[in-house]
Amino acid sequence: MAASYDFVQLDVFTQTPLAGNPLAVFTDARGLTDKQMQALSREMNLSETTFILPREPRLQCWRTRCGITPRNRNPITMMSSKLRKK
């Protein structure tokens, strides 16, 4: 059986539905390798894809991998960031 991954597609940089920049967000990227993230990004065929990783309880934040594009072959150029809980 093939693996399945939950994701949402958002329109960013707009307040009008279907008028912004489409962004795929994978809400649980646990266990995904850089290669798998790249393959999923290619499958989405959008300008960017974001992967959310588990929360870091000690730091009160979530880890993300952002800026993964269908043609980005160099993992160093992918940005990692942290989202803090308010």
The residues annotated with a catalytic role in the active site are 48
Give the number of other CB atoms < 10 A from CB of residue 37: 20
Question: In the structure, how many helices (H) and strands (E) does the chain have?
Answer: 1, 5
> How distant is the alpha carbon of residue 14 from its chain centre?
19
- For residue 77, give the 3-state DSSP assignment: helix
